């Protein structure tokens, strides 16, 4: 008899814990929209930086795009740069692009952290992120929102 009571108690507790966990993961439309808006903003910033860097390389008189790609892979290896016969002008340009990329990434990371902390809030951010990873319906809602938010992306048509 005692075993049945213990099993019933354990089962009841596990059901209660499961329901509590599910309720904690339940994501409101507002929470999901805030999270998606933050992610979309960061995605747009990333796309903007990529386009800016690509424009820098395309419009460069110092380095052709294919040469830039080759030099960018070896920019921190002076021996390989010498083997590639990289000119000081080419090296300076590639380093300028790298610095611009690092600046953009720093700004993106700072914006991401600010949005997560101040706009979404850490508790909601983590809750939504976990729900997207573990709940197919939340993931579907999120994906749908991201498609809608991407429609106003100014970099999408470039």
* pLDDT tens by residue, 102-142: 999 999 999 999 999 999 999 999 999 999 999 999 999 99
- Which residue, chain included where needed, has tokens 């903007």? 48
- Mean pLDDT for 12-18 is 47
* pLDDT tens by residue, 16-54: 444 434 444 599 999 999 999 999 999 999 999 999 999
* pLDDT tens by residue, 56-106: 999 999 999 999 999 999 999 999 999 999 999 999 999 999 999 999 999
- Which residue, chain included where needed, has tokens 């960061």? 42
Q: What is the DSSP string of 57-75?
A: HHT-SS--HHHHHHHHHHT
How many CB atoms are closer than 10 A to CB 32?
19
- Whole-model pTM? 0.74
């Amino acid at each position: 008899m005692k075993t049945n009571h213990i099993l019933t108690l354990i089962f009841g507790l596990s059901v209660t814990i499961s329901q509590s966990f599910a309720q904690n993961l339940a994501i409101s439309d507002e929470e999901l929209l805030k999270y998606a808006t933050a992610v979309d903003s960061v995605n747009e910033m990333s796309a903007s930086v990529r386009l800016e860097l690509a424009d820098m390389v395309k419009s460069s008189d110092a380095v052709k795009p294919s040469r830039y790609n080759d030099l960018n892979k070896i920019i921190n290896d002076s021996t390989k740069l010498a083997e590639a016969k990289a000119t000081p002008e080419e090296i300076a340009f590639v380093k300028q692009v790298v610095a611009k990329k690092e600046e953009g990434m720093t700004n993106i990371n700072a914006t991401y952290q600010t949005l997560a902390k101040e706009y979404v809030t850490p508790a909601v951010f983590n809750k939504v992120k976990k729900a997207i990873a573990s709940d197919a319906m939340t993931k579907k809602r999120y994906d749908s929102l991201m498609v809608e938010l991407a429609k106003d992306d100014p970099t999408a048509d470039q």
